[in-house]
Every structure is written in C-alpha cells, then in structure tokens.
Chain A
Amino acid sequence: MSRPITLALVATLTPALVALFLAATPFIRRRGAPAAALTVLGSVVSFGAAVMLLLSRLGQTGTELFTVPWIRSSARVIAEAGVHVDGVSASMLAVVCFVALCVQVFSLGYMHDEPPADFGRYFTYHALFLFSMNVLVIAPNLLQLFVGWELVGVTSYLLIGFYYKKPSAAHAAVKAFWVTKFADMGILFALLSLFVATGTFAWNVKLEPAVATAVTMLLFLGVVGKSAQFPLHVWLPDAMEGPTPVSALLHAATMVAAGVFLVVRADPLFVQSPTTRTVMLVLGAVTALFAALLALVQTDIKKVLAYSTCSQLGYMVAALGAGSVLAGFFHLTTHAFFKALLFLAAGSAIHAVHSNEIGKMGGLFKKMPLTGAAFAIGALALAGVPGLSGFFSKDLVLEGVEHKLHHVPYVILLATAFLTAFYMGKVVFVAFFGPPSSEQAKHAHEPGWSMKLPLVALAVLAVVAGYFAAPFARLYGEPYHFHFGVGAAVAAALGLGGIALAWTMFGGGKRENPQVMVTVERIAQSRAVNRLYEFGYRRVTLAMADAFAWFDRYVIDGMINWLGYFTIDAGRRARPMQTGFAPDYVLAVVVGAVSLAAWAVLR
C-alpha cells in the first residue's frame, strides 16, 4: 500500500473507529466530555493525514488506486471498495477534514450547555459524519460514492433531528431525508443503467449518447436533491433546525456540496451529454437567482445563510453545466471556507443573543469585535469583494458561463451577485451595526477560545484561499491565469454596489422596506413549492396508503373471511339434515334403495 493510500485510509478510518468505539461504549459516550475529546482528537489525526496527503500531491497529476472486492456475484467481482487518490480527492479531503475540525472545536464551546449524554451523542454523530463524507470523497467508483452519499444523508438526518424533542426539528429531519432519498432514486437507477451498459460502476467509461444522457440526467436528479437545487431545495432551509455548527459543516460547507463533487468526479460521463449540461446550466442559474431572492426577505440569520447556500450551489452547478469543472470545484472550495465561517460567526452571535432573528441583534460589532469581523469577512468574501477568496472563484464561474446560451445565464448570475452582496450587506448592517435591538444584544459578549479559534482559522482561509487558485488548478491538471478583465470589473462593481445599496437602506439603524421587497416577501410566504409537496404527501401518498390498507383489510382479507364464513354457513345449513330421528334415516335408506333399484331396472 503506497503512502498516499495509507494517509487517505487513516483520514477516513480514524473517525470510523471513534464512532464505532463511542457507539459501543454508552457509558463513555454519555459522559460527554471524553466523547468530545476523542472525536476532536480523531479529527486532528484525520486532518493531519489529509494535509500530508495534499502536500504530497502538489505538483503531481497521476492517480493512486487501491481496491478490494466488495460484492461478488456469478463468480466475479461486480463492485469494489477502496481509495482513489488524485488532485480532486486530495484537496476535497483536506477541505472536509479542516472544516470538520473547525466545526467540532467550535462545538466544544457552542454545545457546552447540553446535558452530557446529548453532548456525547452529538460528537458521535460528528465522527460518523466525517467517516461517511470521507468514504464519499475517496471513492474509486460511483457505487462507493453512493454508499458515502447515503451515509452522510443519514448523519444529516440524525443531526438535523438532534433536538428531537422539538417537533419542528423532528419534522425537518424527516423531510430532509425524504426529499434527498427521493432524489437518490435517480442515482440508484443511474448505477443500474451504468452497470448494465458497461459492467462496471466506473465514471470514466464511454457510453452511447442516449445512455449517457439517461445516466447523467438520473445522476443529476440525485444532485438536485442533495445540493438543494430548485425544485428540491425545500429541505435545506428547514434543516436549519439543527444546531448551528451542524448547519455550517453539513448544510453549507461539505455535505450539500457532495452533489457538486459527484459531478466533478463523474465529469467524463457528463462530458458525453451536452443535453444534461444544458439542463444543469439552466437549473443552476435559476436556483441561484430564485434562492437569492428568497434570501432577501428572511429575518432569521440562519435562513438567510441557508438560501444563500442554495444560491451559491446554483453557481457551482451552473459552472459545471457550462463545462467549467475547475470553476465549479474551486467555488465549492472557497465557499466551504467562507460559508462555514459565516455560519459559525452567526452561531457565535446566536449564542450571545439567544435568538436567530436579525431584528433582535444590532450593534454586535462593538460587543463582539472578533465575531463581527469574522462575519464581515465572510460576508465580503461571499459578496465577491475583490481580493477575497469568493471574488476569484465567482469570477472563474462567471468566466465559464459567459458565452453560453446567449449570455442569459451569465446575466442571471451577475444579477444574483448583486443581490448576494445586497442581502449580506443587509444582515451585516442590521445585526452587527446600528443600535442594539434587544436586552440580550446589549449584554452580548465574545465566546470562549474554543469558539474564537475556528473563526480565526476560517477567516484567514476565507481571505487568502483565492490566491491559491493556480496550485489548486495544477492539482486538477488545468492551467489557471487570473486576469482582471471587464467581466471581473463588472462583477466587482455589482458586489460593491449591492453593499452600498444595503448601506443606504439599512445602515445606521435605518429600516427601509420598499415595494419590491414586500412583493418578494409575499412570494416567499406563499411557500408554493412546499405546499405542492405537502399536497403530494397528504392528499396523494397518504390517501393512497389509506385506500390500499382499506382494500387489503376489507376486500382481500374480506374475501378470505367470507370464504370461512361461507364454509361454516354451508355446514350450518347442511346440519338440519342430520335430524337424529331414526325414522328419518330409515326413510332415507328406503328412498335411496328404491331409486337405485329403479335406476338399475330402467337403465
């Protein structure tokens, strides 16, 4: 086993061992602190291994492969499990382990007030998540990727439902699972079709055009679910019921980006279907704009960030649809840093104010300068302000889509960039500047070191990650040269313009609510997409189930019962024949004998 393989296995299996150990030892897990320490320690090991792996990969473009037979059928191996190390998996592994470590350290402080048993359970889920996500990242074939994909889905379900006593959290967890599971049927069918067509679950095979379109469209259905693209985005805002660090890790930085990762991985398949790519480009752009509009009117700080995540994932999907894989993947990476930063900083603010509502914050910058600075850096990076990481990756995305479909997606994404800067500006000005809007906001203070440290680490990366675009591109084997062209200038101007507009409307304690916003709010409140699904669930699925169950109980089973009834009834009707009176029997004998004799004679 070569060194890169060993490192990748260490990064993946360490959290698995931690999760297994904690699951098997409830007496340790329920004491809380030891479980947390063990999980964080495991993540440190994983992160160390991932960094060493990444460093060893710099300047190389080859792949390292290690597999073992996993499923055998008809005396041959039909599926393998193993490790596939290349630039994509090495960089993704490092990003995942880094953000996971930051979030876990942050959680030490954030979740500190939970009862020990819940504290331990929380960290056990985290270890399980890191393992599952790494299984997905290092997958050598689509089947293993799907295994990891489903496992992160379960940990997402468990973590969203962490506060399971709260009905809204329980509801959100189940909803997230159902929506993504529905989309995952697409991946399952894609795997079946791929195997029947090629005999493998590999992503670098040549397919017939029709098969390629079918397989990639089915895969993309799974991506739409996992990466919360319109119209399956409905679960992501609800998923904010989970603890805030969970939202940072799963529902912003890593798990929801798994869909994008899948497309990057299966690029050799997607290349073969221009149709699918066009669909992705359109849907990505639509999601980006639609989610950004909804983000405008949210008052819950986490909901703003959730819709913003949908919107940014739309950017990535659009970039991939335009064929610019590097742009999509690079935006995934920078987004992981600045969105995790935003969520954690928001968590720090929520922790201080005990509310998610930006209307109850205000003036936090003075009370919590580090949190405020961290949030501001994240917001500026997200808004695409020149010099920060988001600017570089967003520019790359815009460059990729520029000439596609008569510039329509390009214009949509530019408009979205403006909206993004505007809504982030609004959150920053309302929550962190102006006068405090509540008692709690007046007495807010900075959290402890365990919450500050991850903020600093992520903030540094959110600033500088953009300057690593060239080595990043080399990992992937593509050239990268940044040039500040007209497009970049326009995007930067739109970003700054959005912030400026937000300042004029919300700066210094102002609260303007123009007609446009009221209209958008009305659209958001109609929850049209959600209501469609609720109708499908209650009025169609459940109604069908009731009809089936009634049919089974009273028709199918009814017929069986009727058969029993008929048998008993027939017996009861036949019973009077046995009267018990001797003369009756004698009469029967005589009648029988006479008729037999008559039959014999007359025959």
Chain B
Amino acid sequence: MSSHLLSIIVGAPALAALIVIFLPENGKLAIRVTSLIAATISLIGSIVALRGYDKVAGGQQMVESYPLIPSLGVHLSFALDGWGGPLLLLTGVIIFAGVLASWTLKTRDKEYFALLLILVAGVFGVFVTQDLLVFFLFYEIAVLPMYLLIGIWGASHAVPRAGPFARAWDFFKVGDKQYAAMKLTLMLLVGSAAILVAIFALYLKAGVNSFDLGLLQKAKYDTDLQIILFPLLWLGFGSLAGVFPFHTWSPDGHASAPTAVSMLHAGVLMKLGAFGVMRVGMVLLPEGARFWVPVVGAVAAINVLYGAYCAMSQTDLKYIIAYSSVSHMGVVMLGAATLTPEGWNGAVFQMVAHGIMTGMFFALVGLVYERAHTRAVPKMGGFATVMPGVAAFFTLACMSSLGLPGTAGFVSEFLVFLGAWKAGHYLWAIPGVLGAFVTAIYVLKATRAIFWGPGPSHDFHDLSEAKGTEWAAPIVLGVCLLLFGLWPRVLLDHIDPGSGMYLNKVVKAPAPAPAVHLTSGASPLSLTGGNAP
C-alpha cells in the first residue's frame, strides 16, 4: 500500500477527472461528490505521506518507478523528499477547500470540475516526480487548464485605455477575461519554451541517456553552459512564480479567474515556478545558480516591495490579493537566492504559508464578491456587521500576510530574512522587512474599508454571512495557518532535511568544517548563550 501511496495521491484526481467526464451533464451532485472524494483521498494520502516520511533518515523515500519511454530513458518515477510532504499537504488542503468553495458553481460543472482535477493531478505530479521530462509534462498539465478555466468561467472588467502603449487597446480589451486567459497562457508558454530548451540541453550534455533527476544531478556540466542555462530555467519557471517583470499575467489572471481557480493558481501553481527554480534550476546547475543569485535575490527584493506598493494602490479587491501574491512570492525567491539553510527552509515554508494564506484570501473574496456583486473596495464598508465570521477569517489571513508571529507567515518570513542577514545580503533583507510593513498598511487599509465603518449601504441588500460548505475553506485553511504558525516543526522538521540535502549540492562544501559547525550547535540553550563567540 504505502509503496503506491504517491501514485494514489497523483492518480486519484486524474481518475476522478476521467469519471467526471463520463458522468451525465445534469448529475450535479455526483460530479461534486466524485471530485470531493478524489480531493479527500489525495489530502489523506498527503497526510499519510507526511507522517510516514522518516525525517531522521531523510533522502528519497517511497520510491516507485515505471518505464515510460525506455529508449530515451524516461520513467514515470515518484519519490518523496523532505520538501515533498509539506508541498503535497498544501496541494491537498487547497484542492479540498477549492472543491468545496466551488460547490455553488452554476454553469458547465462537468468541464469545470474535470479541468480542476486534471490541473491538481499535474501539481501533485510535479512535487513528487523524479524524472525531468515527466516533471515538465506534469508542469504543463498543471498550467494549461488555466486557459479554459479563466476564459470560460472567469469574470471581465474594463481597464481604461492610457499610457505610452495604449495602442494595444485597439486589438484586445485589456481586463477582459479572454484577454487575461490569453495573456497568462502565452506568457507561461514562453517560459515553458525556455524550460524545454534547457531540459534538452541538460539531457544531451549529461550523456547518461536518462531524464532521471538523480542521475542528472551527478552529471558534470561546464561552468559556461550552466551560466547560460540557469537564466532560462530561472525566467522560465520564474514567470510562473511571478518574477518581476514577468509577473503581469498574475494580477489580471487572478482577478479574472473564478474563486477556486484563483485559490489553486495563487495558492499552489505559483509555487511550481519557485519549486522548479530551486529543484531543477539550482540543484542541477549549482555553478550557474551561484553565478546568478545576486541577480535573483535583487529581483526578488524588487518583487517584494514593488508588489506590495502596487497592491496598496488597487481598489479592486481581487487585484489587492493578486498583487500581494507577487510580493509574497518574492519572499520565496529571496529565500532561495540566499543559498543558506534558513533561507531555503523559509522559502519552502513560505510556499506553504503563502499558499494557504492566499487560498484563504481568495475563498473569502469570492464569498464577498458573490454577495456584494462588486469588487470595488471604495464602495464597500461595514460588512462586518452582516458577515462577522467572514471578517474574522479575513483578519486572520491579513495577519499571516503581514507576518504576524503565531501565524505561518511569520515563520517563513523570519527564516528568509535570517538567511539573507546571515549571508550578508542586507540589501535584500531590508526591502523584505519593509515589504512586510507595507503589507501591514495595505491589508489593514483594505480590512478597514471593507469590513469596518458604519453598516453597509442599501446597495448591498444581498449581503449575508457565509453558510454551509462555504465555511469549509476558511476553517480548514485558518486552522492550518495557526497550526503551522504556532508549531512550525510540523512542516519544518520535514523541510529541513530536504533543504540540507539539496543545498549540499548547490553550495560547495569545503571539507569537513561546516559539518562540525552544523552539529555542534545541536543543543544550545538560548539562555546560556553557550555558543556565543
């Protein structure tokens, strides 16, 4: 059983998607129940995988491998590393909450749920696959359904024609849902093309006739080649992670997408980009990574502050959250660029923390939008009188967003800043910390504008508290935020061996000196100050 656990986690949504396609169009409940069962299986599987992973032994566990294209050395092979467990759990939690958040969908349910499940199967696959080509296939499976999900079920709005490049408005309606879907898909596909080029180069230059990540890691690539290939992977995957200036698909895409799709996309899919940069780009190309990290880190620092400032100026609720994702994904990339254990642990923890937090934001925003029929924040006000529960959960998400201790957001941001500070990258850490402060400004400004103030005006007669399945997403995600914030070791004890394993490959370990340093501090009591210099 446990040896097929990863196949079950990846396979359950894929199989359910197939079943949903053959269900009758009017079997609304059957479609939903099938999707929910698949999501539940994957969620429970993720928890079992997390608990079953031996943290002390570390490394790759629960390995499965099936030949796919033997002549090219392509295998469908799954394995769990330290990072896998927390990221599977994140995906499981988000899809579970996402299916429940889509419960009240009204149009073309069958296609919607099938696409959602296919997408999430791809995400699960990326996190556990050990074959580079299959990694890419899963990556594409996860990214492409977004085009249809936004193009069909999305929402449009108008962006006024202005600026030096206003001529574009002659050809497409900026802000329209088809525009958003097309922009997202094209930008990510350009990134994919870059990734594909790099993957083929890696495969051919390794000369081992295999796409196995473990084998490719051992291959020796020329320094020059690494320096050329790394930017392809950084920007290719990075465009999905919202790396400045290739982030502009994200605000329009997230704003246009329906609730559960925004949850999945900002909550999980953007993580695939950062995961790809770290797992493929940095681990396979250590010298390239070391050459480019000054740029990666600087751009990430820009991301954090730039995203936060852009978010502050937005008046559309979904745009605020979308830009906050651009800012928070910057924290992930910042942590990755530090090449320190703290930074990497923080980066992976931030993937989970931000995934849950932003998933919660989009779920709540969806609830508000459905009832208020507008996303214009300036028109709102006093909603807390009618929907106190939603207001409370929104405040919780805000607190995690601004990195409040006791929520998951603090642990990750603190570790990332610690890594940057330790590595002497003060010019990355300072914008990072400032970004957290700017976040405090815009999230509380939004909370005040939406929920506080005198009761809602008469325009909002449909306003009511969430009910039934709508509570599922906020409660599940809220509990996760607090649990991971108060007791971060649930995840961190897994992430840490994973980071250690991969980071060893990226950072040249000069003889045994660091190993002694890493173990000598195993029992420092902070009070004794024993290991002070």
Contact = CB atoms under 8 A, between A and B. Distances in A.
Interface of A: 26, 63, 65, 67, 69-80, 84, 117, 140-141, 143, 146-147, 150-151, 154, 157-158, 161, 164-165, 167, 170-171, 173-174, 177-178, 181-182, 185, 188-189, 192-193, 195-202, 204-206, 541-542, 544-546, 548-550, 552-562, 564-565, 568-569
A74 B452 contact: no
A141 B248 contact: no
B341 A192 contact: no
B73 interface: no
B421 A200 contact: no
Nearest to A200: B526
Contact of B171 (A71, A170, A189, A568): A568
B387 interface: no
A73 B415 contact: yes
Given A549-B313, A553-B163, A561-B168, A188 B526 contact: no
Contacts of B533: 197-198
Interface in B396-413: 399, 402, 404-406, 410-411
A199 B248 contact: no
Interface in B510-533: 518-519, 521-529, 531-533
Given A75-B518, A554-B163, A182 B421 contact: no
A202 B345 CA distance: 22
28 contacts: A71-B492, A73-B415, A74-B518, A76-B519, A76-B524, A79-B526, A164-B452, A170-B448, A170-B452, A173-B448, A178-B440, A192-B421, A192-B429, A200-B524, A200-B526, A200-B532, A541-B312, A541-B438, A545-B309, A545-B310, A545-B442, A548-B313, A549-B309, A549-B310, A554-B164, A557-B252, A558-B164, A558-B166
A94 B171 CA distance: 70
B165 A561 contact: yes
A46 B518 CA distance: 40
Interface centre among B187, B395, B434, B524, by most chain A C-beta atoms within 10 angstroms, is: B524
A270 to B, nearest CB: 16
A542 B315 CA distance: 12
Given A161-B452, A565-B170, 18 more contacts: A73-B345, A74-B500, A75-B519, A75-B522, A77-B524, A80-B526, A154-B404, A164-B384, A165-B382, A174-B448, A185-B436, A188-B414, A202-B527, A545-B310, A552-B248, A561-B168, A564-B168, A564-B186
A548 B342 contact: no
A8 to B, nearest CB: 15
Given A74-B518, A200-B531, A541-B441, A65 B245 contact: no
Contacts of B429: 192
A170 B451 CA distance: 10
A174 B451 CA distance: 13
Dominant secondary structure of chain B at its interface with chain A = helix
B532 A198 contact: yes
Contacts of B406: 147, 150-151
Contacts of B455: 165
Given A73-B415, A188-B417, A552 B310 contact: yes
A555 B168 CA distance: 12
B168 A562 contact: yes
Given A141-B527, A164-B453, A204-B527, A74 B312 contact: no
B460 to A, nearest CB: 15
B183 interface: yes
Given A562-B167, A568-B171, A164 B451 contact: yes
Interface of B: 159, 162-172, 174, 183, 186-187, 245, 248, 251-252, 306, 309-310, 312-314, 341-342, 345, 382, 384-385, 388-389, 395, 399, 402, 404-406, 410-411, 414-415, 417-418, 421-422, 429, 433-434, 436-438, 440-442, 444-445, 448, 451-455, 488-489, 492-493, 496-497, 499-500, 518-519, 521-529, 531-533
